[in-house]
Chains A and B, each alone.
Chain A
Amino acid sequence: MADTDTIMELLARQGLTPLAEDLPLIQIAYEQATDQKSLVHGVTGARYEEPLLVAKARG
């Protein structure tokens, strides 16, 4: 389970001050966001090395 203080600090930096009752849903959202970040940065071929791969293929 994600650290509540970490989430609240992250949101406070953006001016957001959720209520305690909102936290269970926000914790789920945080975990989902963390998973999505990992996935979206992890796919081979969709990163900035792609132009180099193309250049190598031509070479």
Chain B
Amino acid sequence: MTIANNLTIKEAAEQLRAGTLTSVELTTEIVNRAKHHNEALGAYVEITEEAALEQAAAADADLKAGKDKGLLQGIPLAVKDIIAMIGAPTTANSHVLDPEWGKGVDAPVVARLRDVGAVFVGKSTTSEFAIGNPDESKRFRIPHNPWDLTRTPAGSSSGSGIAIAAGLALGALGTDTGGSVRGPATVNGHSGLKVTYGRVPKSGVVPLGYSLDSVGPMARSAYDCAILLGTMAGWEPRDPNVANVPVDDYVAALDGDVSGVRIGLPTEYFFDSPLLDPEVKGGVLDAVETLVNLGAKAEEFVLPHAELAKDANMLILLGEAHSYHRNNLTSKWLDYGKWTRANLVRGALYSAADLSQANRFRKYWSKIVAEAFEKYDVLITPSAPTPAQRPDEITPSKRLLLPAYTGQWNLTGLPALSIPTGFSSDGLPLSMQIIGKPFAEATVLKVADAFQRATEFHVTAPTLTSVESK
């Protein structure tokens, strides 16, 4: 049987319960598709076919016996390869990570998904240690954007983003320290949620920036992200970085009603840069207009220091990453990819005073943002200044010049969701970012879901023609 590559978790769950689809049929199709396209797309480090089909058969048997564990039962997922998962090694796409790291262990977030009957297709490609760019001299596959193989799929959750876009998984886990869930969601044309810091356990995950990292759901729709988050979120007594805050019923919150929702549009830096692509900007403003037509209220306002917030996040990220990698950098320099070591060494160029001041600014700016949220329920910005670029267009020096819109929300620890808003004249996905108050993922998802009820950008999938011809 042929299963569309834009099938959502919600649709698949309905079909599994209606008896028109089995998890074995679904998983077989997804695994075969993943194997067929993996050479060209580089979505997976490892495809765990045998285990996936066993999990699918178990899900089918349970459903047939009336044991319904929820909407993720029998649903094929991808797990970013910095997250520990039983049955597959964790490589972090690196020769440096100890091969024994995480062996035989499920990270709590994976264990929660396994407990509700999810199926794991495999470990998805990550930028090395969630910070490098692909280095062809290393043994790992180079990930490619399924909309245009010459374009970046972004990182660091590259494989998870590709897998969702190309229908090689229905949902995925990514991690986000400066935009690594939202970047791939943006350029691959689907939804990706960076959760509030502390919303989801992050133990069993190779760290990048201790005080910034989060594990987030990636899927075609906001609705599917809500399904995933409902299982992923919540208190974990063994994890010192999880908040003991009640978990909302994220799916129940999706009622399509945004009447009276107050949207703030921070103009300075996020909308007024001459380097912001006009099609990206137009896509966001059109999306806001759609939400206003649905009953939301939007107004522009000034949120100062946004560029500095991006830099402070990067400074803290690099300092924390360097502290994790310092010893290996001194002894295994050449084992790291060339881009990874160049990125990680940046943490050695800051002083203790720099880090201290960045953290002080973090508090200062968080207070400014909190004041903005007294007036607004959500903020909306572009997710990125341009559609997916070609690797030679994003050299380090060029990248420094571009504005960036995601790290600010890691600095403040707030939830932020990227969703598609349309397509560029080149046929590349465009995106916007919806930011919410602490632990207000339900509001962010509700606004996104309302937009997606009125549009079809999120269920538009690449044809994979160029992949086939490669």
Contacts and interface: CB of A to CB of B under 8 A. Distances in A.
A4 interface: no
Interface in A1-54: 7, 10-11, 14-19, 21-22, 25-26, 28-30, 32-33, 35-37, 39-41, 43, 45-48, 50
A45 B348 CA distance: 27
Interface stretch (B10-18, B143-151, B186-194, B325-333): B325-333
A17 B311 CA distance: 26
8 pairs of A and B residues whose beta carbons are closest in the complex: A25-B342, A46-B364, A15-B330, A33-B349, A46-B361, A29-B346, A36-B311, A28-B396
Band of interface residues on B: 35 or more
Contacts of B308: 39-40, 43
A56 to B, nearest CB: 17
B360 A16 contact: no
User: Chain A interface mostly helix, strand, loop or mixed?
Assistant: helix
A40 B342 contact: no
Contacts, number: 89
Nearest to B334: A19
B360 A25 contact: no
Nearest to B347: A33
Nearest to B350: A33
B312 A40 contact: yes
A19 B400 CA distance: 23
Given A10-B349, A29-B349, A40 B365 contact: no
A59 B299 CA distance: 36
B348 A17 contact: no
A26 B336 CA distance: 14
B393 interface: no
Contacts of B397: 28
A17 B341 CA distance: 11
Nearest to A33: B349
Band of interface residues on A: 20 to 34
A14 B357 contact: no
Contact of A25 (B312, B339, B358, B364): B339
A40 B354 contact: yes
Interface in B293-337: 305, 307-308, 311-312, 314-315, 326, 329-330, 333-334
Contacts of A19: 333-334
Contacts of A32: 346, 400
30 contacts: A10-B348, A15-B330, A16-B345, A17-B333, A18-B333, A19-B333, A22-B341, A22-B345, A25-B339, A28-B396, A28-B400, A29-B343, A29-B346, A29-B349, A32-B346, A33-B315, A35-B311, A37-B350, A37-B354, A39-B311, A40-B311, A40-B315, A40-B354, A40-B358, A40-B361, A43-B308, A46-B365, A47-B357, A47-B360, A48-B360
Interface in B53-67: none
A41 to B, nearest CB: 5
B35 interface: no
B330 A16 contact: yes
Contact of A43 (B346, B348, B364): B364
A26 B342 contact: yes
Most chain A CB atoms below 10 A, which of B345, B349, B353 = B349
A32 B399 CA distance: 11
A16 B346 CA distance: 11
B311 A16 contact: no
B364 A30 contact: no
A43 B311 contact: no
